[in-house]
Amino acid sequence: MRAFTVETYGGEAGMRAVELPDPRVGDDDVLVKIHAAGVNPLDLRIRNGDFKAFLPYRLPLVLGNDLAGTVVRVGPSVTRFAAGDEVYARPDKDRIGTFAELIAVHQDDLAPKPATLTMTDAASLPLVALTAWQALVERAHVQPGQKVLIHAGAGGLGSIAVQLAKALGAHVATTVSTAKADLAKELGADVVVDYRAQDFEEVLDGFDVVLDSLGGENLAKSLRVLKPGGMAISVAGPPDPAFARELGANPLLRLAMSALSFKTRRSAKRRDVTYTFLFMRASGDQLRELTPLIETGKVRPVVDRVFPFGETLQAMEYVEKGRAKAGKVVVSMT
């Protein structure tokens, strides 16, 4: 099969197109012919080696974290799927590799593709939809009437999180550039802050939840717009001790993560709010829970551009240089 692999960490020069043997299919695995794969900032960070301390992949590594495709065959213990089923998934972090023609995925990580979506639309969703669900539903327990701030509300994660927060009944604010304000409103944002013209910290306050995808000073300001008891969830901020425990990290790595997030956690505690780091996990069951929202149009994919599979490296460069106007970039194998 054709695939794009990371040969060495550090940038675009470390990736290349290769021919590989077809994946081995375990007892609980589903072999999927990939029709389309989403491109995420996470792919760039893995390629660059940003996570090698706690995601010790063995190189060469097939990259890619989102897929939509068709089941080719299943392992003997698989009960949920059969050949010909249309599926989508974010594979487990230890079994990524969607920039390829085939992948073997554990049946628990797969879900039926929503019938209303094309393969390219479906491939744009799993990672960001699961991230939004795990942040807003599983971790923050967002309730109707609560105030939720979603940063970068026209981006890959933000565009889905805004819609999900609105579907949960929240009052939703978001930060976007001037050109993306109309899209943010279409997606359901009640308050749209143009970050180029306004400082969100000066116009927003009293929020129950903030979902931060930028980190740094943006995260520090986010703590200050929360009301007492509020929660800031970041996918870009420093890892915290809870994540280290979840990961099963060794004592030295746990200590390092605790040190990295100490300043942020201390700042949160002084304001009587909570800071938590989120590294999403694969879940076919949670994708199934999202399906009704997708099929009724309450959560819809936002796709910026589709590249042919042979131009996967160009698609990654497009994302890396910030050329996407809104939503996700997808590569199509068909």
The tens digit of pLDDT for each residue in 136-159 reads 999 999 999 999 999 999 999 999
The per-residue pLDDT for 175 is 98
Q: How confident is the model at residue 249 (pLDDT cuts 50, 70, 90)?
A: confident
State the pTM of this model.
Answer: 0.97
Q: How confident is the model at residue 334 (pLDDT cuts 50, 70, 90)?
A: confident
* φ, ψ (nearest 5 deg) of residue 102: -140, 155
Average of per-residue pLDDT across 182-209:
97
Q: What letter represents residue 227's amino acid? A: K
Average of per-residue pLDDT across 313-327:
94
Q: What letter represents residue 289's amino acid? A: E
Average of per-residue pLDDT across 8-27:
96
Residue 139 corresponds to which tokens in the numbers above?
């971790």
pLDDT at 95 over 90: yes
pLDDT at 236 over 90: yes
**Cα distance between residue 176 and residue 155, in whole Å:** 9
> Three-state DSSP class for 273?
coil
Cis peptide before 144 (omega within 30 of 0): no
The per-residue pLDDT for 54 is 80
pLDDT at 257 over 90: no
The per-residue pLDDT for 245 is 87
* φ, ψ (nearest 5 deg) of residue 201: -65, -25
pLDDT digits (tens, 9 = 90+) for 44-80: 999 999 988 888 899 999 999 999 999 999 999 999 9
- Contact criterion met (CB below 8 Å) for 14 and 6: yes
The per-residue pLDDT for 320 is 95
Considering only residues 264 and 251, tell me which one the structure prediction assigns the higher pLDDT: 264
Q: How confident is the model at residue 247 (pLDDT cuts 50, 70, 90)?
A: confident
Average pLDDT, whole number, for the chain? 96
Domains of the chain with CATH codes: 2-124+301-332 (3.90.180.10), 127-277 (3.40.50.720)
pLDDT at 253 over 90: no
